[in-house]
Amino acid sequence: MTREKTRRDDVERLSKAFPDALVGLKQSDEDARKEDLPVQLANALRDLDELNDEAVEEGIEPPSESTIANANRLLRVIYDILPRQYLVELLPEGIIAITVPGGFQRSVMLLCESDSGALCSVNMSGKHRCKRYSHADQLPDRFLSEALSELGRG
């Protein structure tokens, strides 16, 4: 029996036993199958899709279409480099923050800015470094790839 089949069987069994407890997980699995995406990536993309509604609720500037497109592309690219669950947040001025967690005092954060620029901020055990990009399509570059690799080595 494959790992995927076992996981599907487990989810099905648990969803019958606890129908309300797995609503989010089950939805994520369904979203992931639509595009054949891993659940973690599908969750991050779903969070990205919900940012416009969040902007309205919080009364802040929504992200531009180009900012959303850049964040969407970067989520897919960084997932290929370091697959894990990401935190996708809307910041003031329509900026989208993608945080790649790595444990205590370790993370990589990408800011997709409304002018199509980006900022990559790296924190490794209290040592900070960052790089600004005039266009998010310059990513991933060596700086980001090395930071994600370092984060993955944990």
**pLDDT tens, residue by residue, 70-91:** 999 999 999 999 999 999 999 9
> How do residues 26-55 score in pLDDT, each as one tens digit?
444 454 555 789 999 999 999 999 999 999
- Name the average pLDDT for the chain: 86
Q: How far is CA 100 from CA 11, 47, 82, in A?
A: 26, 14, 9
Please give the Cα distance from 42 to 33 (Å, whole number): 9
Higher pLDDT, 5 or 107: 107
95: closest CA among 55, 40, 145? 55
Tokens describing residue 16: 């019958």
**82/107 Cα distance (integer angstroms):** 12
As given in the structure block, the two tokens for residue 127 are 């040592």
pTM: 0.78
Q: How far is CA 36 from each of CA 28, 39, 78, rounded to the nearest angstrom?
A: 11, 9, 17
